[in-house]
Each structure stands twice: as structure tokens, then as C-alpha cells.
Chains A and B, each alone.
Chain A
């Protein structure tokens, strides 16, 4: 019985694109807005991110939450807004599988990291900050060197 496949097939993208467009009223105050095509692009990226992460979602408002959370970022050009939102969603679902955080906690962490230490760099967020958070959650010391010191002493 393919209930999961049935869920993914229902006009989810259209609904999400519509709710993303409704957010324009809020995001326009910060100079960001999505065109209908861009909203569909973000909704499609959301579905792809879910599929890539092997996750299933019900009546999600995650794209809307991302839209609201990142619209006031000083590091996002209006022309790149849709593309960055899509990449942030991809990172979000990838790290949802790795982290025990709730949706809200991970979103806040990403928002703080992106607007803070990463200075708007998705690479730093995805390759340094989020993996470091995973390491901390698994009890690993991210400050420890990759090569043990003993190997250096032998030379």
C-alpha cells in the first residue's frame, strides 16, 4: 500500500507556491519578493530536497518559515533570493537527518549562522557550521586535529 507515494503526488507544490506568494506582503518590506515562477521554483526545490533526504512531510509550512526568516538578511541579493532559499531548504532537510533538533531550532541555528559568522556564505554554513553542530551533538570535539599528534612526532 503506497500511502507515502500517494501523499507526495498530491498537488503539494501548487499549494506551497501559493502560500509563498502570500508572504510577499511581508517580505516586500525588506526588499525581497518572489514571482509566481520563483515561488514554484522554491516549492519544487522543497519537494526535491525532501526526496533527496528521504523524508516525508505533511502540510508543510517550512518554505514559508524560511521565506519569513531570511527575507531580512542583509546578505541576500533580491535576484538570488529564490535560489538561496532553495539551497537553504536543501541544507535544512539534509541536516534534519543528522541532527536531533526540532524544525524551529534548526531554522534559528541556520538563520543565526547565515547572518552571523558565515556572513551570507552558504558554503560556510553547509560545510563548517552545520557539520560542527553535528559533531557537537555526537559528542565529538570539533577542535581536535584530524591527524593525531603522535604521527608528527615520529618524523
Chain B
């Protein structure tokens, strides 16, 4: 339990430190622009590596990849991002049955 408390406090410290202390060069417009790119990079990082790599191997032909490609037009034209999770899972399980 002590280990969990230590990890919990270290997590809180990492999250809080720059909320309290201004990072160096934050008034620099270049640094600001760099920080604005973080949410976009996070989105890419949460999708692409988990999609194309399976247990350390590049895997471009998979049910996950096909389900994701089929999901793209549904989200793009519906303009509702939350639809993505429902459509992606529907395609994933449908493809598992049919392929």
C-alpha cells in the first residue's frame, strides 16, 4: 500500500508542478505554439501506434485496421466523433464473425 501512495504522490507531483511553476520560456510564441500541438500529437499517438503494431510487429492487414478504415466515412460525414467508438466496435465484431 505504501508503494501505491508513493506512486500516487509522484503522479500528482508530475501533473501539478507546471500548473504552479511557469515553465521556462513560456512567454516565447515558439514555445506556446509547440505546446498547442500537444493535443493533436496525443490523438495521433493514441490511435496510430496501437492500430498498426501488434505485440511489437507492424501489422497493416488486420481486422482492427479494416474496421477503423470503414469507420472513417461515418465519423467524417456525421460530424459526431463519439459515433466512432460505436461504429468501430460494430465493424470489429461483424468482421470477426464474417472473416
> A and B, one complex?
no
